[in-house]
Amino acid sequence: MFLSLSYGLTQEIAGDQTQAMRDLSGWTLVASVVEENTAATEQMSASSGQVSKSIEGVAGIAEENSAATQEVSASAQEMSAQVEEVVASAQSLAQMSEDLQKAVSTFKLDGDGAGAEVKASRN
C-alpha cells in the first residue's frame, strides 16, 4: 500500500511539474509576444518621426514654391507695365515721325539736291 501511495504521489507531482512546465511555456510565449509588440511599437514610433520630418520638409518646399510663384507673378506684372510703357513710347515716336514728315514735306530741293538751296513749297 505504501508503494501504491508513493506511486500515486509521484504521478501527481509529475503531473504538477508537467502543468508547471506548460504554464511556464505559456508565460514564455506571452513574454515573447510582449517583446515583439514592444519592438514593433518602437519601430512604428521611429517611423512616425521620419514621416513627420518628411511632411515638414514637403511643407517647407511648398512654402518656398509659393514664395517663388509670388516673385514670378510680381516680375510678370512689372514686365507688363514696362511693355505698356514701350508701346506708349512707340506710339509717341510714330506720331512724332508723322508730324516730322508733314513738316519736311513742306520743303523741296532745287535741281538734283546736291548743295541746292532749300525753298518753301508753295502749295
**Over the stretch 4-19, which tens digit does the pLDDT of each residue have?**
556 565 666 666 666 6
Q: Do 114 and 108 touch, CB atoms closer than 8 A?
A: no
Alpha helix (H) residue ranges in 105-114:
none
* Residues whose CB is less than 8 angstroms from the CB of residue 120 and which lie 6 or more positions away in sequence, other chains included: 106, 107
pLDDT of residue 9: 58
**Over the stretch 48-105, which tens digit does the pLDDT of each residue have?**
888 999 999 999 999 999 999 999 999 999 999 999 999 999 999 999 999 999 998 8
**Over the stretch 17-50, which tens digit does the pLDDT of each residue have?**
666 666 666 667 777 888 889 999 888 888 888 8
Q: Do 110 and 99 touch, CB atoms closer than 8 A?
A: no
Question: Across the strands, what pairs with 118?
Answer: 109
pTM value surpassing 0.85: no
Q: Cell numbers of 6, please?
A: 508513493
